[in-house]
A and B are shown apart, each in its own frame.
Chain A
């Protein structure tokens, strides 16, 4: 009897401490409950009563079906808006996006970049299919509340404007997608590239305007071309 106990114990020990802790999860095949998963095999979906099926390693792939290889909607990071909502970039699908990375405590370049954004918005006449997005490179300071205040102060509180707060790593990742470089110089000061990026409704980069106070004719015409 004893050896058996020994082996059982050993076996259990190995199973529990092995480094691959990959629990199998189960999901309704119709995804009635969206991406919700369950850890028990026996069970059925509470909505459509179908048996749950094990989830393949790549649950998230399903969503990316219609998104091209080069689309920023492939990024799965979550962002807080100035209105206190949490969104993923792919929720912006369908709109032409004009994006810039700034931070609200900035004294030098950002006010000019923000002005550039406003000037683009003015020249492109009002259109519900365009979203202007300002992403903070200082997610610690720029909370949704602070971003909202900034939006009001700068007359950018309309619904065509969105301000996003990420995390240090999601901001770094997004900057890498835009090829924006930035560096924290002191707690409230960053140096950064001044780039305004335009994305088509599928999230593919269409145009980048580099520099401060540059002529935005090309950017404006690109936006109009994408919308129409």
Chain B
């Protein structure tokens, strides 16, 4: 009897570790802050939500592609991804030997990232949510004024090929979230709400606070410069673009407490 009981427990633990196919998430307590570009450049209020601790990995994406044929490299529609989609992969379901399973997935379009999250019952974070979590350092929820926080990000911008590093190889921030800075850029659900680009000058009707000139004038200190780079990237990509240093992670809403 005793052996069976022990066996049960052993099997149970094995199963728990196996069944845990949803990647780990942590609670992000909402709050109000001033992003670089908010609505009217005012404060933004974020409600509580959960965020993936790590960016989605190559391994996780391989599993996803195996289950969802339409995201295979050979099958993906041109409407949803450009020619560099999963460029490095050896085949539809195999990575290149130089790619680590534990490295963040990159080379995916917004459509692929968006669908991945939806299939997990999650969604992509909004820009405001992402920036809210990403302004934390190890100890403080808002470290944007600290010199070393900004220096860290800017020094990462200068490092080559960090997308080959494994997840968890950068710091764990105040919210227990890893790798927001130092590994890859990340897709956000509403990246196309950033209106800084050539378009700002010709066909966008209300761009006074997003116009390159005024943005540059506002971005005098380092704090804005690091964030400005992220907004500039978001403003310049299209949803079907794939880049080898652009990955993603998912978030989910907290279920209504009723």
Contact = CB atoms under 8 A, between A and B. Distances in A.
A58 B69 contact: yes
Interface stretch (B26-34, B130-138, B193-201): B193-201
A172 B189 contact: yes
A69 B77 contact: yes
A179 B238 contact: yes
Given A108-B206, A109-B205, A179-B238, A70 B79 contact: yes
A184 B207 CA distance: 12
Given A58-B69, A74-B77, A185-B40, A177 B205 contact: no
Interface of B: 1, 4, 8, 11-12, 15, 19-22, 39-40, 67-70, 77-80, 110-111, 114, 123, 189-190, 192-195, 197, 199, 202-207, 210, 235, 238-240
A58 B68 CA distance: 8
A122 B244 CA distance: 46
Interface stretch (A2-10, A127-135, A147-155): A2-10
Nearest to B77: A69
Contacts of B69: 57-58
Contacts of A109: 205-206
Contact of B193 (A169, A181, A212): A181
Contacts of B15: 14
A3 B195 contact: no
Nearest to A11: B11
Interface string A158-187: 000000000001001101110111111110
Contact of A3 (B4, B111, B114, B203): B4
A189 B209 CA distance: 14
Nearest to B11: A10
A191 B207 CA distance: 7
Contacts of A18: 19
A19 interface: yes
The 8 closest A-B pairs by CB, nearest first: A176-B239, A109-B205, A183-B193, A191-B206, A69-B78, A194-B203, A211-B203, A69-B77
Nearest to A181: B192
A53 interface: no
A218 interface: no
A78 B140 CA distance: 43
Given A70-B79, A177-B239, A192-B204, 15 more contacts: A2-B1, A3-B1, A10-B12, A19-B20, A58-B69, A69-B77, A75-B79, A109-B205, A173-B239, A186-B40, A191-B195, A191-B206, A191-B207, A191-B210, A193-B199
Contacts of B4: 2-3, 6
A74 B189 CA distance: 20
B111 A173 contact: yes
A182 B193 contact: yes
Contacts of B110: 176
Nearest to B67: A57
A97 interface: no
A195 interface: yes
Contacts of A20: 21
A17 interface: yes
Interface in A22-66: 57-58, 61
